[in-house]
Amino acid sequence: MQLHEFFDEVAAAVFPYVDMIAERVTTLGGYATGTVRMVAKGSSLNEFPTDAVAGHEHLEALVDRVSAYAKSTRETTEKCSDLGDPTTEDMFTEVSRGIDLQLYFLGSHLQGGGVDAQ
């Protein structure tokens, strides 16, 4: 139950970025994919393992995927800089800070510094 509540907190911290990015995409004239199927098809993240049972396994899977997302966010920030789009660059810098913080929290739980991971 403790991990479940922790995962809810992580999701609540990350969710606002979804809307922020979608709004920026449409502001720039793009199309924000809105269905789960469309998002899953376009995602570069590995699918979550269906055989993860123990809390530690879920933490490892989340750390892996959030790490990949954090890396992608930093790369996107650099691309925005290269394209001369400081507004979008700033937005992704904000997202990167938030994702890095959640990654820190996840990692500390994985290392035993948080709620029992077993």
Does any domain span residue 101?
yes
> Locate tokens 């994919």: which residue?
33
CATH of the domain at 95: 1.20.1260.10
Intra-chain end-to-end CA distance of the chain, in Å: 11
What's the pTM value of the predicted model, to 2 decimals? 0.84
Rounded distance between C-alpha atoms, residue 43 and residue 34, angstroms: 13
Range of the domain at 38: 2-110
Residue 33 counted as domain residue:
yes
pLDDT, tens digit, for every residue of 80-111? 999 999 999 999 999 999 999 999 999 998 88
State how many domains the chain has.
1
Report how far residue 52's alpha carbon sits from residue 44's, in angstroms, rounded to the nearest whole number.
Answer: 20
The pLDDT value given to residue 29 = 95
Predicted confidence at residue 12, as pLDDT, reads 95
47 located within any domain: yes
Per-residue model confidence (pLDDT) at position 87: 97
Say if 70 falls within a structural domain. Answer: yes
In a domain, 10, yes or no: yes
pLDDT in tens, 9-67: 999 999 999 999 999 999 999 998 878 899 888 889 999 999 988 888 999 999 999 99
Residue 1 has pLDDT above 80, yes or no: no
Domain membership of residue 55 (yes or no) is yes
Q: Are 22 and 32 in contact (CB under 8 A)?
A: yes
Q: Does residue 114 or residue 101 have the better pLDDT?
A: 101
Answer yes or no: is 88 within a domain: yes
Inside any domain, residue 115: no
Kindly list the distances between the CA atom of residue 13 and the CA atoms of 20, 64, 65, 67, 100, in Å, as whole numbers in the listed order.
Answer: 13, 18, 16, 15, 11
